[in-house]
Structure 1
Amino acid sequence: MKLLCAGAELVNDSSRGFDIDGQKLFAVRRSGQVYVYINRCPHRGVALEWHPDQFLDPSNSLIQCATHGALFLIEDGECVAGPCAGQSLSGVTCREDEQGIWVSL
């Protein structure tokens, strides 16, 4: 397991990008739960963020691809709208403890 960040660095309804050993990832916290995905849209293989650390739609309720607007569920990465509907983001196993958020790569 590799340390992603301290838990306090990812507040509720926010997202943040990371580069762990050359692997581009992003994390989202929703209702206290952390979700981590590989930062690659299944449609074109491009990075998702609009600006650094901005992976969510304006309502902070869905992950949104900046390239073509595809929308993904935060909880499981499933695309629910856009050209890759039915596909999913690649999830990364994570856990959180008092030291921070950890990922398995």
Structure 2
Amino acid sequence: MTCIYTSSEKVTPLNYLCDKNDLDEGKSRGFEVDGVQLLAVRRVGQVYVYQNRCPHRAVPLQWQLDQFLDASASLIQCATHGALFLIESGECIAGPCEGKSLNPIDCGEDAQGIWVNLPERD
């Protein structure tokens, strides 16, 4: 298992998300890792991962399997009420949760694939 080190010298295991070739440029995909629903988007070569939960109603965002983006593929869109989120920050810029944000998930990419660091659960 690949690990990262935090400032307190604790070892935090990384969770494998997918092969880096399984997330194409300008596309989104949904995942479940250790019971946590996630969405991942690749934009301009960078991978962004968020918890798949709208901050307005705590519902999943996709309208179909792996469909999290608006028609222009430039924003994440909630299928329930149409809220729009910036891919780079998760901030809602239109809709009933405007000003709130999606929960970001730390992620990284290497030759083996895309990895996520899930937050500790209570």
Q: Same fold (TM over 0.5)?
A: yes
Structure 2: distance between partners of 1:86 and 1:26: 20
Give structure 2 stretches of 5+ with no counterpart: 1-13
Residue-by-residue CA offset, 1:70-94 (whole Å, 9 max, x unaligned): 0000000000000000000000000
Corresponding residue number in structure 1 for 2:69: 56
Counterpart AA for 1:65: C
Corresponding residue number in structure 1 for 2:85: 72
Q: What is the deviation of 1:37?
A: 0.2
Q: How high is the sequence identity, in percent, across the aligned residues?
A: 66
Choose 1 or 2 for highest CA Rg: 2
Corresponding residue number in structure 2 for 1:14: 27
Q: Calculate the TM-score normalised by the size of structure 2.
A: 0.86
Residue-by-residue CA offset, 1:38-71 (whole Å, 9 max, x unaligned): 0000000000001010000000000000000000
Structure 2: distance between partners of 1:103 and 1:78: 20
Give structure 1 stretches of 5+ with no counterpart: none
The alignment status of 1:84 with 2:97, answered yes or no, reads: yes
Counterpart AA for 2:37: K
Structure 2: distance between partners of 1:6 and 1:45: 28
**C-alpha RMSD of the superposition:** 0.3
Structure 1: distance between partners of 2:99 and 2:83: 11
Residue-by-residue CA offset, 1:7-48 (whole Å, 9 max, x unaligned): 000000000000001100010000000000000000000000
Q: Calculate the TM-score normalised by the size of structure 1.
A: 0.99
How many residues get paired? 105
Structure 2: distance between partners of 1:36 and 1:86: 19
Q: How does 1:17-56 map to 2 (within 5 A)?
A: 17-56=30-69
